[in-house]
Structure 1
Amino acid sequence: MIRVLVVDDDPFIRESMKVILDLDNDLHVAGICGNGHDAVTFVRQSAVDVVLMDIRMPVCDGVEGTKLLRALEAPPAVLILTTFDDDEYIAQAIRNGANGYLLKNVPPSRIISGIKTVYEGNVLIHPDIARKLAGMLETPRPEPGKALTISGLTPAEVQIVQLIADGQSNKEMAASLFLSEGTVKNYITEILNKLELRDRTQIAIFYLKLIHQ
């Protein structure tokens, strides 16, 4: 059972999300909060696996709330729900260690899937958000020639990069490529080493920069 904390300043959204998430047999809504400070207080007192976090909230928004949560000794995963126009908020949330980012207008099934994805230790970034952020976040500059050809990656690794940029989780990639999740993780480790990148989010943004330059 994945224990979820819903954080949103809108009471209607909080209660609606609680009803929706509790319908899934794998999820349990452990609580609801109205801002980031209340979320940190709740997590310190109760066991939480994933925090479903709104970005724009009074008192303590999702950006600061993410930073405070990720600084805890045993931090929960943080899945950000945002609108398409929250560019600067999203960029800062990425820097603060958020594990995933979904647009608020996605179907409930996608939110449930996203919660499970970040719970499993994967990073989830909505492809539309990744494209908007491609020019906003700094990623390490690759060696000459690598930026155009993704030099050094095997065809299989290039395919993994493309699927990461499309927002697929390790589980989804394993299913579509007929591989084990362990093999997918090994591919991602190799890709990070070859491209000198830090995490999956940087892989997605790196690729999107290539195809839009």
Structure 2
Amino acid sequence: MIRVVLADDEPVVRFGVKAVLATAGDIEVVAEAENGSAAIDLVARHRPDVAVLDIRMPVFDGLDAAKVIRECHPGTKTLVLTTFADDAYISRALGEGAAGFVLKTGDPQEIISGVRAVANGGAFLSPMVAKRVVDQMSRTHPRPLATQRIEVLTAREREVLGLVGAGLANAEIAARLHVVEGTIKVYVSTIFRQLGVRNRVQAAIIAHESGIIPEN
């Protein structure tokens, strides 16, 4: 069972997200918070697998909370709830340790998929969020730069990067490519170093921007 702490300052949103997660069968919301500070306290108390955090909350916003959770409770992964109005927050979040972004008004199944992906060590970007980020980045960094960046990677490394962008964890990538998980860990570390990124979300953005996400 994947254990979740859910934080949003709107009770109606918390109710809806909790109801969606309850349909999954393998996800349990163990505690709810109205702000980022309370979410941090609940993570310390319950040690959940995932903290689902709204970006805009009082006291501590979701990104401040994600940063503290990453530093103090690395066993808990963070999935951020966002809206189309949060472009600036999304850009900032790429370096704050969030493992995924899900659109509040998107397909409810994406919340379930996002929780599962980050709980398993993967990164997850709602397709609409990914498109928004890529569009935003391409305004200042033209698309050819993304494809140029991945030219330093081998064909196998690009394949792994595409699967990281699709939200797969190392174990899932290993199973897909019929290799041991340790090999994938080496590939991922090499990819991060070659691309100059710090986490799977940043790598996933480059994968989306380069158009190398596999269809299946």
Would the TM-score normalized by the shorter structure come out above 0.5?
yes
Separation (CA, whole Å) in 2 of partners of 1:148 and 1:31: 44
The equivalent residue for 2:178 is 179
TM-score (norm 2): 0.77
SS at match of 2:167: coil
Length, aligned pairs only? 202
| 3-state SS, counterpart of residue 121 of structure 1 | coil
Q: Where in structure 1 are there 5+ consecutive unaligned residues?
A: 138-144
Q: What is the distance in 1 between the residues matched to 2:119 and 2:82? A: 19
Counterpart residue number, 2:157? 157
Q: Distance in 1 between matches of 2:118 and 2:25?
A: 17
Query: How far apart, CA to CA, are the structure 1 residues paired with 2:24 and 2:149?
Result: 43
**Which residue of structure 2 lines up, in the alignment, with residue 94 of structure 1?**
94
Confirm or deny: 8 A CA contact 1:62 1:93 kept in the other structure: no
TM-score, scaled to structure 1: 0.78
1:81-101 Cα offsets, whole Å, 9 max, x none, are 111220111222222211111
Q: Residue 185 and residue 18 in structure 1: after superposition, are their counterparts in 2 closer, same or farther (change >3 A)? A: same
> What is the CA-CA distance between 1:210 and the residue it aligns to?
5.5
Change (3 A) 1:61 1:186: same
| Separation (CA, whole Å) in 2 of partners of 1:27 and 1:180 | 29
* Runs of 5+ consecutive residues of structure 2 not aligned to the other structure: 139-144, 212-216
In percent, how many aligned pairs have the same letter?
35
Residue of structure 2 in register with 1:11 after alignment: 11
Q: 1:178 to 1:103 in 2, by over 3 A?
A: same
Cα RMSD between the aligned structures?
3.0
Residue by residue over 1:134-178, the C-alpha shift from the partner in whole angstroms, topping out at 9 and shown as x without a partner, is 5559xxxxxxx996373342222223333444x332366556x44
C-alpha deviation, 1:50, in angstroms: 0.7
2:82 is matched by which residue type in structure 1?
T
Between structures 1 and 2, the one with greater helix share = 2
